[in-house]
Structure 1
Amino acid sequence: MSGPESLPSKRLTRNEIPKENAWDLSPLFPTTEHWSKAADELGTEADRLTRFKGTLQHGKERIYSCLKEYEAVLIKLNHVFLHARLMYSTDGTNAQYQADFSRAATINAKVKGKLSFIKSELSLLSDEELDELSNDHTMREFTSLFREVLSFKPYLLPQETEKVLADLGQVLESPYSIYQRSKMSDMKFDEIKLDNGVTLPNSFSLFESRYEFSANIEIRRKAYASFSKTLTKYSHTLSAVYEAEIQKQVALAKLRGFNSTTEMLLHNQQISSAAYYRQLDVIQNELAPHMRKLARLRKKVLGLDKMTFVDLKAPLHSSSLPPVTFEEAASVVKEGLSILGPEYSSIINDALTQKWIDLGDNIGKSTGAFCASPYGVHPFLLMTWAGTTRNIFTLAHELGHAGHFYLASQNQSFMNSDCSLYFIEFPSTLNELLVSKQILKSSKNDQIKKQVLLQMIGTYYHNFVTHLLEGEMQRRIYSLADEGKAINASLLNGEMKAVLTSFWGDAVEIDNDAAMTWMRQPHYYMGLYPYTYSAGLAASTEVARLIEEEGEQAVEQFLHVLKAGGTKPPLELLKEAGVDMTSAETLKKAVHFVGHLIDELERSFSK
């Protein structure tokens, strides 16, 4: 499944990417002229809605009429903004894409500012009136909105203040924009000069999608040195950018009357502080011994002089097989997800064959992988194809988001389709597990089974270690910020190093380069997003077991909650899927499964 390294000779520009490796955004807008026209129309359409200002106390019919028009404007705004974001994500160095994305962000803030009166006026209704509206079958398209307004009533500010905050939306989102532009447009990395005279290009995406997983210790460690050298140059700038994000959230939490920034960010997810702290504490404490065991096994099998942070993703399997093509991966993923039935399989097939996915690696392209889902069209997936086994599971993961969002938008109104951040990584990580289990079940090749076992462990590593430790970092930083501590590069490096050292103990050497890990992820600019990956994976571990044991009934439960969108709080949805996330036992069972996988891997190397 994964084989001799296909090393890049140079980085391509966007125009040099083969067309078959680029997505087709025309279902969203056929041409840039269509996009520009829609963008121009939004201001007028938002102005038209202001005729409802001051009238939302005048009965259900008035509220319904307003919300129908409001929803139509929000859908159009969703399309305009996402199109600009998707174009920009393919090449952040393109001046036109930069300008269009900036234009879309400005329009987004202006429209939301003009329409901020709607939630403010709805909040003037009594709790009983809002509750009645949320349960009225004629208003069912807006159930989630009424629930949201009811939940945030104690924290809403005067209408003019809310408008000012909405008008400042582009400014308030600038830390994330600056971070992304620094990565995509400005960061340059030294070439990697190997002892045999070969020179390799380096970039954020090349390191994270290819070199970090290299079996060649010289490539891996020299790429890391080049990567870290550039991060060091940007550490003070990006620490200031991250501090701006943190202080923004701290100020908003105080302004709205929350007891802490963490409380505000969890309120947005409909999750309690107890659930958040349980997630961080139980998994870290229970998982650390298993992961230290894995690190020691990796050091022994690879014959390393020392186990460093950059060696944690070094492959343990043989590299005698050829690189994985996208077509091969698509076939594997389709087979693995066929257990979810024909409706779901049809979505996956369309995604894989109808140019929903952008695969190429080019200068300026966004790092990592994501799925964006414009309502009423279809999802778009971005990733960088490097031909590794890990790419198969990244593909399955993003298709999990696509299947979820597509089913939600097909079965719910726009306002009811969006679910809590806490729930989002459940369908995606389930896909990874289902594909893994199908390969293990169908393959008779012990070498492939060992590779897939490693990839399953990789799934848990990514979500239970990488993202969970980011969550621990956030817990510490927001707590310090609430206390008034200044956030700078020195503090961030120190806290990150402490988090990593606490988890890995003496099994891994955590150096100053590892301490800069906080610079690598955009998740820090998305609220308390990182820890939710572990919530999703703990839930998907249990549901994967249920599907294996109960078959069609468990599948139906799973598809039912995907189609429910955001009509219920996340813990209720997960309960309907068969998972009790209020219990620490659910987390412990998932960690126990990881320990089982590592024990099995260790046995395979002792044969």
Structure 2
Amino acid sequence: MSVSETNRQYRKDVPIEQTWDLTDLFPDKESWEKALKEIVEEVDQITAFKGKISENANTLLEAIQTAEAYQQKVIHVAVYANLLVSADGSDPANQGAAAKSSSALATISSKLSFFETELLELTSSDIEQFIKDEPKLETYRKYLLDILEKKDHILSPELEEALSALGEVLDAPYSIFSRSKQSDMQFESVVDGQGNTQPMSEPLYEESYEYSEDTTLRRNAYDAFVNTLEQYKNTYAATYATEITKQVQLSKLRKYDSVTDMLLAPQQVTTEMYHNQLDVIQEKLAPHMQKYAKLLKEKLGLDELRFCDLKAPLDPSFNPSTSYEESSGTILNALDIMGPEYVEGMKKALSNRWVDRAENVGKASGAFCSSPYGAHPYILVTWADKMRNAFILAHELGHAGHFYLAGKNQTLFNTRPSTYFIEAPSTLNELLLADHLMDKNQDNPRMKRWIITQLLGTYYHNFVTHLLEGAFQRKVYDLAEEGIPLTADVLCKEKRNVLESFWGDTVTFDDGAGLTWMRQPHYYMGLYPYTYSAGLTVSTTMAKRIREEGQPAVQDWLNVLKSGGTKQPLDLIKDAGINMSNPKNIETAVDYVGSLIDELAESYSE
């Protein structure tokens, strides 16, 4: 164990108020074990419908509602195990729970593979007739029609069952990646600018050191970070290449024209929309961000701006600290415009231990929100007492607020919209927080500049980091379909090429920059990275509507959140008054980023 690990607290030593309350899902581990056993036994409630689903409207409704109720129990069991291992993946008991859950889900998935296969025997005319015969089926119209979209790509019942039975194996690349990052990766302690030794971990680097005003600490932490990544690059390359090979082969097996077409299908997004997000932003945003990079280099007084300096604060001596409690109050004030029902959910999340904010050995890096239907959302962050953390928390609360409202207004099968939309509610919360802070600090030029940099941090995260992940991902799938082996050297080269193409000669890159493909779990989630930019494009336009129109715009947005997954993404977004088929919306969002950078530069020249 490295020195840095011994300086970090273990999960058992974390104050309970900093952790999420899993008893809201299950009273204790024994209750979870019992529920795990029950879902395996109760799967027969669904298999009883085998061969009967499409007999008549009443049977179809009963089958869907029974499956929905059963799925809720399965989700609770799976989420509980995932939250355990996310909070402390180094605990063998948590690892065991995750393994048990994964095994049970694979068994269940195999037994239930018939369900969609039988629904695919229906035609759209059959569905309309069944809805006419049983009006309650209207609730499930989109669910049924979405399944029909898979018709040309479904395999024989036997093959579908075999693939479902292999679910645990097919998900292995992501499981191996996650387990290794949480449990095996260790980092040497680092020295800060005052000569003090600081503990080092991936969460500490990604949530604190990467943003540090201390150039020595920031760069030393980066070196320690990439030194550890270097030790794992060949193993992770083999793991990621396996994931890519799986996707490519499945796309061929299911007779898609390309792996991209297969991965976009569940998002219900055209390839044109996908390429627009990647191409328009890369082309139009790069000059703005290069301008920012030059400003950052100048204000930090650096001879060269390294890749690891890009997230450094523009004003190193001004990095406002804040407590979790203070940030909670600020966020609630910022979101007050969303109305009492929405704010009620936010208050519950912040005060009822829906948020896990501790930093401990084995905790997953980054941040996420998990929203099990029938319970409440759970948020994971790593709190570092910096105002930047307030933006991260606001982001995850956006996900929580979305599914809090969708869960109250929709059935389980209707809660989840396309991932193309999923990041819009989260990023809107960040923009509302920034607007609130700007209003509060009109007479404080330094604070206003800092807020602009936080806004730029939001756009950097979604329009640069995740977008360039998407560009890298697109290249990787192209290489895989050409039959080029995805070795560590190939992946590092392509990642560095994408970064250098965007930043040009404004940034000095080292070999460690090419290793950053190892950081994100998103590569194991299909074409997810680019959707962050789509969501932020939507939220940028929505924030503008709210500023200009007030409550009518807010009401439109709340209606969209409550709609859950009842509409396809383009139609859902149109209900918010935004047409995402028009690339000009993307350009408008990019222009807004450019205006922020111009405002920042002008404020320093005054």
Q: State the TM-score, normalized to the length of structure 1.
A: 0.97
Moved more, 330-339 or 319-328: 319-328
* Pair 516,318 (structure 1): closer, same or farther in 2 beyond 3 Å: closer
Give the secondary-structure state (helix, strand or coil) at the position aligned to 1:371.
strand
* Pair 84,574 (structure 1): closer, same or farther in 2 beyond 3 Å: same
1:4 alignment counterpart = none
Q: How far did residue 319 of structure 1 move?
A: 3.3
- Distance in 1, Cα, partners of 2:151 & 2:90: 42
1:538 alignment counterpart = 537
- Counterpart of 1:456 in structure 2: which amino acid? L
Q: How far did residue 8 of structure 1 move?
A: 11
1:588 alignment counterpart = 587
- Distance in 1, Cα, partners of 2:534 & 2:103: 34
- Alignment of 1:101 with 2:102, yes or no, is no
Give the secondary-structure state (helix, strand or coil) at the position aligned to 2:515.
helix
- Distance in 2, Cα, partners of 1:86 & 1:130: 38
* Pair 572,21 (structure 1): closer, same or farther in 2 beyond 3 Å: same
**Structure 1 residues without counterparts, runs of 5 or longer:** 1-6
1:82 alignment counterpart = 79
1:522 alignment counterpart = 521
Q: How far did residue 317 of structure 1 move?
A: 2.3
- Distance in 1, Cα, partners of 2:163 & 2:223: 42
- Counterpart of 2:39 in structure 1: which amino acid? L
Q: How far did residue 138 of structure 1 move?
A: 1.2
* Pair 19,448 (structure 1): closer, same or farther in 2 beyond 3 Å: same
Give the secondary-structure state (helix, strand or coil) at the position aligned to 1:26.
helix
1:604 alignment counterpart = 603
Partners of 1:240 and 1:488 within 8 A in 2 = yes
Partners of 1:134 and 1:146 within 8 A in 2 = no
- Alignment of 1:44 with 2:41, yes or no, is yes
- Alignment of 1:221 with 2:219, yes or no, is yes
- Alignment of 1:569 with 2:568, yes or no, is yes
Give the secondary-structure state (helix, strand or coil) at the position aligned to 1:350.
helix
- Distance in 2, Cα, partners of 1:322 & 1:409: 36
Give the secondary-structure state (helix, strand or coil) at the position aligned to 2:362.
coil
Partners of 1:79 and 1:374 within 8 A in 2 = yes
Q: How far did residue 143 of structure 1 move?
A: 2.7
- Distance in 2, Cα, partners of 1:257 & 1:324: 53
- Distance in 1, Cα, partners of 2:101 & 2:60: 28
- Distance in 1, Cα, partners of 2:394 & 2:160: 40
1:168 alignment counterpart = 166
Q: Aligned runs of 1:484-499 on 2, under 5 Å? A: 484-499=483-498
- Counterpart of 2:464 in structure 1: which amino acid? V
- Distance in 2, Cα, partners of 1:270 & 1:460: 25
Q: How far did residue 498 of structure 1 move?
A: 0.5
- Counterpart of 1:214 in structure 2: which amino acid? S
2:501 alignment counterpart = 502
Q: How far did residue 134 of structure 1 move?
A: 6.5
* Pair 226,574 (structure 1): closer, same or farther in 2 beyond 3 Å: same
Q: Of 200, 211, 215, which residue of structure 1 is paired with 2:209?
A: 211
Number of equivalences: 601
Q: State the TM-score, normalized to the length of structure 2.
A: 0.97
1:27 alignment counterpart = 24
Instruction: For residues 115-140 of structure 1, give each alpha carbon's deviation from its aligned partner in whole angstroms, at most 9, with x where no partner exists.
Output: 11111011112232135456863113
Moved more, 371-380 or 314-323: 314-323
* Pair 8,182 (structure 1): closer, same or farther in 2 beyond 3 Å: closer
- Counterpart of 1:533 in structure 2: which amino acid? Y
- Distance in 1, Cα, partners of 2:591 & 2:246: 39
**Structure 2 residues without counterparts, runs of 5 or longer:** none
1:122 alignment counterpart = 119
Partners of 1:9 and 1:200 within 8 A in 2 = no
Q: How far did residue 272 of structure 1 move?
A: 0.5
Partners of 2:449 and 2:600 within 8 A in 1 = yes
Q: How far did residue 441 of structure 1 move?
A: 1.2
- Distance in 2, Cα, partners of 1:495 & 1:321: 34
- Distance in 1, Cα, partners of 2:166 & 2:306: 44
Q: Of 145, 148, 151, which residue of structure 2 is paired with 1:147?
A: 145
CA RMSD of aligned residues (A): 1.5
Instruction: For residues 289-318 of structure 1, give each alpha carbon's deviation from its aligned partner in whole angstroms, at most 9, with x where no partner exists.
Output: 000000000000000110110000000125
* Pair 235,318 (structure 1): closer, same or farther in 2 beyond 3 Å: closer
- Alignment of 1:336 with 2:334, yes or no, is yes
- Alignment of 1:368 with 2:366, yes or no, is yes
1:310 alignment counterpart = 308
Q: Of 267, 273, 278, which residue of structure 2 is paired with 1:275?
A: 273
1:579 alignment counterpart = 578
Identity of aligned residues (%): 47
- Distance in 1, Cα, partners of 2:336 & 2:6: 38
Give the secondary-structure state (helix, strand or coil) at the position aligned to 1:381.
strand
Give the secondary-structure state (helix, strand or coil) at the position aligned to 1:513.
helix
Q: Of 47, 53, 64, which residue of structure 2 is paired with 1:67?
A: 64
Q: Aligned runs of 1:467-486 on 2, under 5 Å? A: 467-486=466-485
